[in-house]
């Protein structure tokens, strides 16, 4: 493939509708993003319903303060509080991440990860309920997705151990498999220092010294151990997992009862239930920093590659990887931190419209994060961006389950 332009464009159809995915050509028009709405607090996870509404939990409302969950209609974007996620303690701040809908009778219940817990509540703009604990014992809980049997799957998105749990109707978490960590636990000393593997570092916050002869580490910052991040089920009932550190997507084959059929335990230096590397659907430099993922009805996997301020599309077989958007560098600073994407974290496709949350983290292409529309520490602290062009392939049926 020929990636000669920093911003890969797609051929446009009438009205305008974009062909997904399509190779760029010299006559193609570039895709564009516009801000749907900004938020006074940070946001990361996002989902949608079948009434053109997006839902995002806010973060860091203040020590001991609950974090509001907002509903935003894409046609009339206003922040509407529909519930709250409680803070973990009087001295700590809530930091919710992933969220997903399930159906409970005639009501739609929203499930949100926070710390080592899953909270749930029925969104209600009038009652604005405080979410209750659905399950606990899932440290580092990040991405969430429901399978066809109503089981909730949760990724361990912060500890770097690569665990993925299944929570059944008994609300008991079970580790079903592990994405292979970047390093195993062998060769550790008494201080737990060691391991065999490699360490991926993001620049910045990591720093190197650039000379005509070498580019060696200047500090130890920027380590990226996250290997199990976004989750999404495909039409076959298999689970797709984004791997941030490797820039990869894994495909985990499940049977009709939700048990793992993919091979595990090929490398005995890793903890039991670690997936074999043959379960990597695709690994590609364009996927570096892969975070949230969403599938369209053709099975294409849309990926927020947030460390590159980019959106990447992978076909269902993992054979074709195409960057459909990346911030254009500033001609003076040569940086890509000025938007429209500002560390895009969580994509949603509402019918034929692609939208993503933006966290504005101070990493890699988005560093320093004082440029653009979101300007930490001043407000706004987050935003939702939507592609101006409609997709030729609609998103999967919502709510995402």
Task: Name the more confident of 115 and 20.
Answer: 115
CB count within 10 Å of CB 266 equals: 13
Average pLDDT, the chain: 90
Q: 4: pLDDT confidence band, cut at 50, 70 and 90?
A: very low
Q: What are phi and psi of 83, to 5 degrees?
A: 165, 175
Query: pTM of this prediction?
Result: 0.92
CA 39/CA 81 separation, integer angstroms: 12
Please, are residues 285 and 307 in contact by the beta-carbon 8 Å criterion?
A: no
- The count of other CB atoms within 10 Å of the CB of residue 36 is 17
Q: For 19-23, 24-28, 149-153, 306-310, which range has the lowest pLDDT when averaged over its residues? A: 24-28
Are the C-beta atoms of 96 and 110 separated by less than 8 Å?
no
Asked if the structure places residue 42 within a domain, the reply is yes
- 231 in any annotated domain: yes
Asked, for residue 2, whether it belongs to a domain, the answer is no
305 phi, psi to nearest 5 deg? -90, 80
Domain of 69: which CATH number? 2.120.10.30
Percent of the chain with pLDDT over 70: 90
Cβ-contact 345, 44 below 8 angstroms: yes
Q: What domain range is 63 assigned to?
A: 12-184+198-391
18 pLDDT exceeds 80? no
pLDDT tier for residue 112 given thresholds of 50, 70 and 90: very high
Instruction: Please state the rounded mean pLDDT for residues 276-302.
Output: 97
Q: What is the per-residue pLDDT across 210-266, written as a single tens digit (0 to 9) for each?
A: 999 999 999 999 999 999 999 999 999 999 999 999 999 999 999 988 999 999 999
- Look at residue 395 and tell me whether its pLDDT is greater than 50: yes
More confident residue, 307 or 399: 307
Q: Categorize the per-residue pLDDT at 6 as very low, low, confident or very high, splitting at 50, 70 and 90.
A: very low
pLDDT band at 333 (very low <50, low <70, confident <90, very high): very high
398 lies in some domain: no
For 139, half-sphere exposure in the C-beta direction (CA atoms, 13 angstrom radius) is 3
* Residues 135 and 148: beta-carbon distance below 8 Å: no
Q: Which residue has the higher pLDDT, 257 or 26?
A: 257
**Residue 175: count of CB within 10 angstroms of its CB:** 16
pLDDT at position 8 over 80: no
Per-residue pLDDT, averaged over 14-27, amounts to: 46
Distance CA 384, CA 401 (A): 21
Assigned domain for 106 exists: yes
User: 393 falls in which pLDDT band (50, 70, 90)?
Assistant: confident
Bigger pLDDT: 10 vs 393: 393
Q: What confidence score (pLDDT) does residue 15 get?
A: 43
Give the rounded distance of the alpha carbon of 358 from its chain centre. 10
Separation CA 314–CA 232 (nearest Å):
13
pLDDT the model gives residue 5: 33
| Residue at 191 is within a domain | no
pLDDT grade for 375, boundaries at 50, 70 and 90: confident
Q: How confident is the model at residue 96 (pLDDT cuts 50, 70, 90)?
A: very high
Average pLDDT rounded to a whole number, residues 70-74:
97
User: Is the pLDDT reported for residue 77 higher than 90?
Assistant: yes
Cβ-contact 280, 239 below 8 angstroms: no
> Domains in the chain: how many in total?
1
Mean pLDDT on 201-207: 95
**Phi and psi of 290, rounded to 5°?**
-55, 130
Share of the chain above pLDDT 90, in %: 83
What confidence tier does 11 reach under pLDDT thresholds 50, 70, 90?
A: very low
> Is position 7 within any domain?
no
Residue 28 clears pLDDT 60, i.e. is over it: no
Residue 399 lies in a domain: no
| Residue pLDDT, tens place only, 158-186 | 889 999 999 998 999 999 999 999 999 99
Are the C-beta atoms of 243 and 290 separated by less than 8 Å? yes
Q: How confident is the model at residue 394 (pLDDT cuts 50, 70, 90)?
A: confident
**Is it the case that residue 304 has pLDDT exceeding 70?**
yes
Q: Which helix (H) or strand (E) holds 55?
A: strand 53-59
CB-based contacts of 192, cutoff 8 Å, min separation 6: none
């Amino acid at each position: 493939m020929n990636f000669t332009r920093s911003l890969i464009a797609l051929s446009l159809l009438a009205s305008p509708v974009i062909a997904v995915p399509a190779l760029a050509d010299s006559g193609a028009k570039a895709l564009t993003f516009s801000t749907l709405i900004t938020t006074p607090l940070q946001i990361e996870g996002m989902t949608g319903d079948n009434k053109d509404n997006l839902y995002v939990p806010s973060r860091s409302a203040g020590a001991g303060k609950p974090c509001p969950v907002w509903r935003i209609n894409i046609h009339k974007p206003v922040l509407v509080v529909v519930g709250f996620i409680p803070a973990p303690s009087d001295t700590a701040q809530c930091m919710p991440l992933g969220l997903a809908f399930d159906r409970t009778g005639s009501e739609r219940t929203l499930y949100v990860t926070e710390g080592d817990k899953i909270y749930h509540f029925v969104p209600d703009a009038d009652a604005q309920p405080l979410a209750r604990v659905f399950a606990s014992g899932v440290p580092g809980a990040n991405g969430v997705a429901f399978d066809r049997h109503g089981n909730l799957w949760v990724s361990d998105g912060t500890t770097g151990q690569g665990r993925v749990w299944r929570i059944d109707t008994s609300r008991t978490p079970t580790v079903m498999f592990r994405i292979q960590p970047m390093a195993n636990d062998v060769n550790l000393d008494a201080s737990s220092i060691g391991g065999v593997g490699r360490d991926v570092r993001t620049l910045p916050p990591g720093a190197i010294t650039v000379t005509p002869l070498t580019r060696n580490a200047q500090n130890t910052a920027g380590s990226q151990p996250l290997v199990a991040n976004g989750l999404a089920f495909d039409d076959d009932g298999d689970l797709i997992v984004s791997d941030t550190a490797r820039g990869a997507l894994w495909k985990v084959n499940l049977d009709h009862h939700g048990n793992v059929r993919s091979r595990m335990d090929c490398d005995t230096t890793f903890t039991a239930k670690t997936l074999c590397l043959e379960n990597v659907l695709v690994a590609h430099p364009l996927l570096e920093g892969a975070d949230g993922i969403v599938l369209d009805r053709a099975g294409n996997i849309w990926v927020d590659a947030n460390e590159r301020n980019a959106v990447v599309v992978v076909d269902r077989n993992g054979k074709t990887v195409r960057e459909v958007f990346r911030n254009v560098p500033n001609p003076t600073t040569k940086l890509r931190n000025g938007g429209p994407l500002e560390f895009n974290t969580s994509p949603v496709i509402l019918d034929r419209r692609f939208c993503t949350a933006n966290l504005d983290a101070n990493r890699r292409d988005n560093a320093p994060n004082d440029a653009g529309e979101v300007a930490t520490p001043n407000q706004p602290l987050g935003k939702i961006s939507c592609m101006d062009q409609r997709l030729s392939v609609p998103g999967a049926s919502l709510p995402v389950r």
